[in-house]
Amino acid sequence: MNIGCMNINDECNAGIFVLLMLESSCINQNLMEMIIMTNRRKHRICALLAIVLFAVLAPVLQVSGQDGSPKVTVVVIDGEITPAMASFLGNAIDAANRDGADGILIEISTLGGQVASAIEMRDAIIASDIPVAVYIGDRAISAGALISIAADTIIMAPGSHIGAAEPIPNDAKSVAYVSGEFRTTAEKTGRDPELAAAMADAAIEIEGIVDAGEILDLTAQEANDLGFADYIAGSRSEALQLLGWQNASVTEVEPDFKYRIAHFLTSYEVAAILLLIGMIGLIAELFIPGFGAAGILGIICFALYFAGGFLAGHTEWWSILIFVAGIILISIEIIVPGFGFFGIAGIIALFVGIVFAAPTAGQGIGVLLIAIVAALIAIPIFFKIFGRTKFMRRLVLNNAETGDQGFTSVETKSDLLGKTGVALTVLRPAGSVSLDGIRVDAVADGEFINPGTQVKVIRMVGSSVVVTTLQ
């Protein structure tokens, strides 16, 4: 019985063992499936994370070249420093910062230019969020020196030089202002401020470097020895190598056609010449019957003056509108006899429009004064040289008008009031009329009067005879 019982128990135990083994096998299988599913989820999560990470880093990765090289923008500054050049450099620096460049290299070669434009360029360089280096190919004189000092790194070519920045005019106020700009700029970029100021102020003496009464101008080797320039390089590629940008993806930026036109028109000399010719043309047109070449030439020159500033980005529409308003006011004054409110307001509006179309009010006043003085000198010379030509004889009375030629003096012009006659010349508004066979200078009341038109004297204004068309 006991044996029999033992056999029964063994069989039961064996059965239970088999069941346990089967159940364990099922659990292991389920566990394996769970592990596999978990691994799949992990792979999917990793893939998603990789996609998100790539999307976030893609713009950053594009900052450098496709091969991982840095991006560098090279800006070429060649010639006079003008408002157009300042606008060009400012836009180029903004674009380089916006596009994620790693650095900017400015290649400069200039004899100088306008102080206001140089200060604007200096400010743009200092405000850059990325490093800016300057490579002086042959010279950075005057305004070019200030621009170069503003850079983080100065690299000079062998034989190049920097300095000689004494302002013109070199009065005490101008010298103090410009030397102060040089000094503060050098302080901001970690250069010797006394060396910088000595480039603009002849009163500064630095023992062994520059004597009093002289303007400092440093060669590449001198600047490098004094620590004012950082490196000397014979080429752009060598300069890039010194900066650690030898493998950089380089984008070169030069002024396009628009900037070249604006650069030419906004130069100090060209702006003054345009205003001079414009003024002479405008004055001549006021005295020449009909609208002719003088008026067209004057309008073209004034238009070019404003166009240069507009393209350079420093002339606003309101200054052009003020100038046009001045022309209109002067035209009203010409039509209305006498010289009063409209004439004065028109001249003021002309001058205000011209001054505020310049980069600075000071520069505008300077150019305007030069043009006015030149016009006062040029007009008498013009009449002296061309006064005897057939064209000028139409404008200037050179011969005496005698009674044999039909001219009679009028002692009392008030006697002409109410008389009728005919216009001998165009009255725009001044001209000549015939009254009872007598040639008389007269002024039209209101609209212009053509030759041959019947006229009547309606009033006397001072010594002027005012006529109107006979209805």
Question: Counting Cβ atoms within 10 Å, is residue 192 exposed (0-12), middle (13-18) or buried (19+)?
Answer: middle
Could you tell me what percent of the chain has a pLDDT over 70?
Answer: 75
Q: DSSP letter string over 200-229? A: T-TT--BTTTB-TT---EEEHHHHHHTTSS
Same domain for 374 and 232: no
360 shares its domain with 331: yes
Q: How confident is the model at residue 58 (pLDDT cuts 50, 70, 90)?
A: very low
Asked whether residue 429 is assigned to any structural domain, the reply reads: yes
Is residue 233 classed as helix, strand or coil in its secondary structure?
Answer: coil
* Mean pLDDT within 75-88: 91
pLDDT band at 401 (very low <50, low <70, confident <90, very high): low
- Band (233; pLDDT cuts 50, 70, 90): very high
Strands 454-461 and 420-423: antiparallel
Does the residue 56 lie in any domain? yes
Half-sphere exposure of 305 (CA within 13 A, CB side): 32
Whether 159 and 223 map to the same domain: the answer is yes
Tokens standing for 15?
């059965």
Whether the bond into 169 is cis, omega within 30 of 0: yes
Task: Report pLDDT for 392.
Answer: 55
The answer on 207 and 187 residing in a single domain is yes
Compute how many other C-beta atoms are within 10 angstroms of the C-beta atom of residue 350: 23
Contact yes or no for 452/460 (Cβ under 8 A): no
Answer whether residue 188 shows pLDDT above 90.
yes
Same domain for 239 and 274, yes or no, is: no
Instruction: Note the pLDDT tens digit of each residue in 431-457.
Output: 888 888 888 888 888 778 888 898 998
Q: Name which of 111-125, 171-185, 200-214, 316-330 the model is least confident about.
A: 316-330
| C-alpha to C-alpha distance for 444 and 452, rounded to whole angstroms | 14
37 & 80 share domain: no
Same domain? 179 vs 276: no
**Bridge partners for 423 per DSSP:** 433
> 293-307: per-residue pLDDT in tens?
777 888 899 999 998
Assess whether 440 and 389 both reside in one domain: no
Comparison of pLDDT for 113 and 293, the residue scoring more:
113
- Residue 9 covered by a domain: no
Residue 113 DSSP symbol: B
Q: Which two tokens stand for residue 259?
A: 């900037």
- Look at residue 285 and tell me if it is in a domain: yes
Q: What's the domain count of the chain? A: 4
Q: Tell whether 143 and 241 lie within a shared domain.
A: yes
Would residue 3 count as lying in a domain? no
Predicted pLDDT at 338: 53
List b or e across 216-250, with b for residues whose CB sees 16 or more CB atoms inside 10 angstroms. Answer: bbbbbebbbeeebbbbbbeebebbbebbebeebbb
> What are 251's strand-pairing partners?
73
- The last residue of one of the domains, among 191, 222, 255, is 255
**CATH number of residue 445's parent domain:** 2.40.50.140
Q: Considering the entire predicted model, what is its pTM?
A: 0.63
In a domain, 443, yes or no: yes
For residues 442 and 467, the answer to whether their CB atoms sit within 8 Å is yes
pLDDT at 182 over 50: yes
Out of 10, 30, 61, pick the residue that ends a domain: 61
The residue from 210, 230, 255 where one domain ends is: 255
Q: Please report whether residue 8 resides in a domain.
A: no
Specify the pairing of strand 430-435 against strand 420-423.
antiparallel
Are 55 and 135 members of one domain? no
Question: Running DSSP on this structure, what letter comes out for residue 413?
Answer: G
Q: What is the mean pLDDT of residues 97-112?
A: 94
Looking at the fold, whether 329 and 420 belong to one and the same domain comes out as no
Domain that holds residue 242: 71-255
Backbone angles phi, psi at 71, to 5 degrees: -105, 130
Same domain, residue pair 308 and 414: no
CATH code of residue 200: 3.90.226.10
Average pLDDT, the chain: 80
Residue 12 lies inside a defined structural domain of this protein: no
Range of weakest confidence among 215-219, 266-270, 387-391, 467-471: 387-391
| Mean pLDDT for the stretch of residues 74-85 | 91
How many Cβ atoms sit within 10 Å of the Cβ of residue 399? 7
The token duo for 439 is 């040639």
